[in-house]
Structure 1
């Protein structure tokens, strides 16, 4: 081996290790990059033709080994438009190249990526962190089958939708045999019941509870939790519920009524709690 040959072999080895370190550095720098796949290093020996009288030194090369087809980790996200592919496949995306009269212009080329951190831009397109726009197939709303086989850019209508007021509330509850209200006393018969006689003056019935009688009502009922409902303008409202045991028939079942708060700002004789008007017997 000549001096030049030995230097050549050493230099190629250094270059190969330098490439490997570059791959490692790139992997570390992009460890938190969405959709990034590591690059491994494959070393290749160069074997030269030699004879019994003459030996030519070899060399070594470093080649990148890409892992684009390797499944990456799937992390949770609070963004509803973030997506991940579990298994084989790619997202089909396109690239915006210009803007004309405020509208984006695309190059018409399909690209493929595993990066799924999509978010909606000002035009309603789903764009990932690398700036590529998501494409997909239209779905028939009746059959649920894809329409056609040519992907197009997914654009979400950003116009305001008409608000729908809450019409029905699904509600479930477990009620105790003995309600531990403020006034309930096991030593006093029927002390756990809410009756018109609790109030002064006594109302005709328990269809509504006035603001003036709210204190007595709260002392003789149990919290039933709360749900959020929406009015015709889409404004949220906190609907609170309370349960009251209203009858304890001898040898029979217990009867409960459910109330909801209708006006949090009611005062005096104004209605504050309303009975839904149905007896629940157990």
Structure 2
């Protein structure tokens, strides 16, 4: 290798260092470029062929670009909701418009890839980054949230509209008080369901318990007359000294009853006749009081009793019917009663109707507690205010055989009057164990069928109560504590804005307040990432050496963030010094070689 070869080698060195300087200058120039991946320089020696190692010389040099695409840039947060950054491996799929027709971009169909995530929505509803590349992804069904395909397409969100969705489910979680404090509970008789903060069906014209609930069994009731001046023997005068002094059968009827007098008991006539022996419904005026009371027992089913000290008679209604006794006989009052004598049986009532009529609203609100309210929507998207109330229908505090039981009601009409239905029972009994846990129903939801509120039909609604969501614990306020009450319906809405979540989901915010998933941003990776061909604007093109794009990179998307340039200014300045010195050294070799040539030419002179 001679002097001229040294000159050529130095020229090659100058070219290689110039190439490196160009890369350094480009890296420094793009130090603030979003998603920029710096280009390093790799030097390769060019060794000429030699016959033996002892004759081998250093040879020349050439420079190659060295990509740093896989080197992560610094991720910083931004205030733009559609900005994205990738942490780790992966690229956004993008396309660049080749032309615009009628303000609509036209694409070639060739997909490029970038890590530049400064996307913003343009006038056509596309997400475009600062270099003019259009984001691609897979659209999502707004109702189901499921992808509509598996091939990324250029995304567009212009004039997105979602139809109304009727409410089909309510999420509910609450604590019901062990002892509800209702307006009626403070003044109710001790030991009653009303005093326990509950609802007493007997206070309602229409039994509000669930449809088919049997009425309470009828119970016997009593009514006691005043002290009776029944004579103990005939014909002694009726005085205070001759009050009943023994048991009923030993005391005779008071004077004043005459043959032909009639006492009507629950529609059955007891006829007074002459003589001392009674038979069936015929009562002898000379017989004792026991004969009359025995005849009444035959009708009511329960024997009347007499207070031996006062002569006061206690009549029983029995359970067959209410008690009703009338008589026109003047002597009837001597029994201690005034005609008519009436007394209602205990218990009874009507079977559960499953609703509260307007006439019973006062009793209902006095014997129940609020269960919260939620705005639901019908199929047309009309908002409907659904009011809920809880009524305790049984309480363990009442003793053996009782269990804490609640019914849930909803208001079906705010304008009902008279016998019109105002509130509807959901039809499910909610029972709780002693530890406050819900024991039934055992499923995670109940269904309220055919919900209608003020004429707006909502249809069947599922009330979802997850495990542990509904409890009964003591509460000093005596009111229901509503922890969760929400529903899945909404009115129709127009797209207002879009944002990108950390999961890569494009989320649309609509005029109806709903946030709906619109698309999924996909990430692709390559087996030979650093062999991608760089394009203007931080994009890359597939090459044979990079291999095809593989959807499903391991990197994670960070919303409202940007990845900066991976250029290290300090490192680039260091390289700049080295390159400058190397370039100067090569020029020095050229100067030296030139001097040597001049010396050689001087020899020839």
Match of 1:13 in 2: 13
Distance 1:159 1:138, change over 3 A: closer
Q: Whose RCO is larger (CA < 8 A, sep 6+)?
A: 2
User: CA separation in 2, counterparts of 1:57 and 1:7?
Assistant: 13
Which consecutive segments of 4 or more residues in structure 1 shift more than 4 A?
Answer: 52-57, 158-162
User: CA separation in 2, counterparts of 1:145 and 1:67?
Assistant: 36
User: CA separation in 2, counterparts of 1:145 and 1:5?
Assistant: 68
Instruction: Quote the offset at 1:26 in angstroms.
Output: 0.5
User: CA separation in 1, counterparts of 2:67 and 2:36?
Assistant: 11
User: CA separation in 2, counterparts of 1:147 and 1:70?
Assistant: 34
Matched, 1:34 2:34: yes
Q: Is the 8 A contact 2:139 2:147 kept in 1?
A: yes
User: CA separation in 1, counterparts of 2:103 and 2:158?
Assistant: 16
User: CA separation in 2, counterparts of 1:90 and 1:145?
Assistant: 23
Structure 1 or 2, whichever has the larger Rg, is: 2
Q: Secondary structure at the match of 1:96?
A: strand
Which string of whole-angstrom CA distances, capped at 9 and with x for unpartnered residues, describes residues 137-191 of structure 1?
Answer: 11244554433221111111247999xxxxxxxxxxxxxxxxxxxxxxxxxxxxx
Q: Which has the higher helix share?
A: 2
User: CA separation in 2, counterparts of 1:141 and 1:158?
Assistant: 14
Which string of whole-angstrom CA distances, capped at 9 and with x for unpartnered residues, describes residues 76-105 of structure 1?
Answer: 111111101111110000111112122221
Runs (5+) with no aligned partner, structure 2: 164-476, 478-605
Runs (5+) with no aligned partner, structure 1: 163-252, 254-282
Matched, 1:97 2:98: yes
TM-score (norm 2): 0.26
Which string of whole-angstrom CA distances, capped at 9 and with x for unpartnered residues, describes residues 219-250 of structure 1?
Answer: xxxxxxxxxxxxxxxxxxxxxxxxxxxxxxxx
Match of 1:118 in 2: 119
TM-score (norm 1): 0.53
Match of 1:22 in 2: 22
Match of 2:140 in 1: 139
Match of 1:69 in 2: 70
1:170-181 alignment runs, 5 A limit: none
Q: Is the 8 A contact 2:126 2:158 kept in 1?
A: no
Match of 2:330 in 1: none
Q: Is the 8 A contact 2:98 2:106 kept in 1?
A: yes
1:80-229 alignment runs, 5 A limit: 80-158=81-159
User: CA separation in 2, counterparts of 1:102 and 1:7?
Assistant: 58
Q: Is the 8 A contact 1:92 1:136 kept in 2?
A: yes
User: CA separation in 1, counterparts of 2:70 and 2:99?
Assistant: 31
1:241-280 alignment runs, 5 A limit: none
Which string of whole-angstrom CA distances, capped at 9 and with x for unpartnered residues, describes residues 187-221 of structure 1?
Answer: xxxxxxxxxxxxxxxxxxxxxxxxxxxxxxxxxxx
Q: Secondary structure at the match of 1:130?
A: coil
User: CA separation in 1, counterparts of 2:72 and 2:143?
Assistant: 34
Instruction: Quote the offset at 1:68 in angstroms.
Output: 1.1
Distance 1:86 1:54, change over 3 A: closer
User: CA separation in 2, counterparts of 1:141 and 1:95?
Assistant: 27
Which string of whole-angstrom CA distances, capped at 9 and with x for unpartnered residues, describes residues 92-132 of structure 1?
Answer: 00111112122221111111000000011111111001101
User: CA separation in 2, counterparts of 1:161 and 1:112?
Assistant: 31
User: CA separation in 2, counterparts of 1:157 and 1:146?
Assistant: 19
Q: Secondary structure at the match of 1:150?
A: coil
User: CA separation in 2, counterparts of 1:16 and 1:2?
Assistant: 21
User: CA separation in 1, counterparts of 2:159 and 2:148?
Assistant: 23
User: CA separation in 2, counterparts of 1:139 and 1:80?
Assistant: 19
Q: Secondary structure at the match of 1:9?
A: helix
Match of 1:200 in 2: none
Q: Is the 8 A contact 2:34 2:116 kept in 1?
A: yes
